[in-house]
């Protein structure tokens, strides 16, 4: 999970994002007034995957004024503009994410995380793809084996929402933070009667 420092001015955005892409992006030009996916992906740390690029962009522009945001969006290539329409971002509180959140879409959620330490206190599964020759199958594994899992709570409610990020990352402080990721479904065992719930697979965060 990568920390994002939001841009404050249009000049800051263009200096960072209008960068010409990586060395092998021979056609892409820096400082040409046009931001394409190669340039955005370079700053976001992504080779491909426009959904995550759009999430990065949304969080990077989160404190900018509306007119400044519009100026930046005008500089985006046509494929990035299409991606923004395809992957709209949901802004949610932890207390409303379960009911209002749309699965497989980007979401930005603000709250205070509390780490779930014990496997006995938590039971939920995710589907992991496994390649067998040329065939892809899916295996159900405990989410807590694959991710660090937290309960995220907002300031006005005791309700919580689960967020998860890779175990290689540092443990999160128990303070107010904003997380950006993709909403996914948390599976239950077939013999469990409790309904499935959702969680946020986090990719980026903002402090405060």
Tokens of 200: 């946020």
Half-sphere exposure of 75 (CA within 13 A, CB side): 21
Which residues in the chain show pLDDT less than 70?
A: 23, 26, 118-123, 189-196
Q: What is the pLDDT of residue 187?
A: 79
> Would you state the CATH architecture of domain 90-207?
Beta Barrel (2.40)
Residue from 104, 108, 17, 111 nearest 63 by CA: 108
pLDDT digits (tens, 9 = 90+) for 112-143: 999 987 665 566 778 777 877 778 887 788 88
pTM for this structure?
A: 0.86
Q: What is the pLDDT of residue 155?
A: 81
Q: What is the pLDDT of residue 26?
A: 62
Q: What is the pLDDT of residue 174?
A: 92
The pair phi, psi for residue 75, each rounded to 5°, is -85, -5
Q: What is the pLDDT of residue 196?
A: 63
CATH 2.40.50.140 occupies which residues in the chain? 90-207
Q: What is the pLDDT of residue 99?
A: 92
């Amino acid at each position: 999970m990568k920390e994002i420092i939001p841009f404050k001015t249009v000049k800051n955005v263009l200096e960072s994002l209008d960068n010409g892409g990586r060395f092998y992006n021979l056609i892409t030009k820096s400082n040409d007034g046009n931001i394409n996916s190669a340039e955005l992906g370079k700053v976001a740390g992504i080779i491909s995957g426009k959904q995550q690029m759009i999430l990065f962009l949304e969080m990077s522009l989160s404190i900018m004024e509306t007119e400044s945001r519009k100026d930046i969006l005008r500089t985006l290539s046509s494929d990035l503009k299409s991606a923004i329409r395809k992957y709209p971002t949901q802004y949610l509180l932890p207390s409303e994410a379960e009911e209002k959140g749309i699965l497989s879409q980007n979401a930005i959620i603000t709250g205070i995380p509390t780490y779930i330490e014990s496997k006995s206190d938590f039971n939920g599964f995710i589907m992991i793809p496994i390649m067998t020759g040329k065939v892809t199958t899916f295996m159900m594994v405990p989410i807590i084996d694959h991710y660090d899992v937290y309960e995220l709570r907002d300031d006005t409610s005791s309700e919580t929402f689960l967020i998860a990020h890779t175990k290689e990352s540092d443990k999160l402080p128990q303070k107010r933070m904003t997380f950006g990721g993709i909403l996914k479904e948390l599976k239950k065992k077939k013999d469990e009667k409790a309904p499935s719930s959702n969680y946020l697979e986090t990719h980026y965060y903002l402090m405060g």
